[in-house]
Amino acid sequence: MSLRHATCLSLLISLAFASTAPAATVGREQDIVDLKLGQRVLVDDGTCPAGQVREVRGAKMTDKGVSRTSSCVPRHGPKTK
């Protein structure tokens, strides 16, 4: 493989990883308008214990659209020393 091909391949791989976005955060579950299959949205409505936030996921396709599941996950904030 030439240097040019290796450079192009590494550029494409880095672009693929850069395009993945973190989960969005909303204040209420009613604010989630169009949940897609596999999408994750963090809901900060105070229903989970301290240090956690509720994660709503588009679980599977049904006749009425995407069904939702939710669970409490650890809240990831800024790192401290």
Give me the tens of pLDDT residue by residue for the chain, a chain 81 residues long: 577 766 756 655 654 444 445 567 888 888 888 899 999 999 988 899 999 999 999 999 999 889 999 999 998 876 566
The phi-psi region of residue 66 (left if phi > 0; otherwise alpha if psi is between -120 and 50; otherwise beta) is beta
Question: Which has the closest alpha carbon to 23: 58, 49, 60?
Answer: 58
pLDDT at 19: 40
* Global pTM value: 0.63
Contacts of 25 (CB under 8 A, 6+ apart): 41, 42, 43, 44, 53
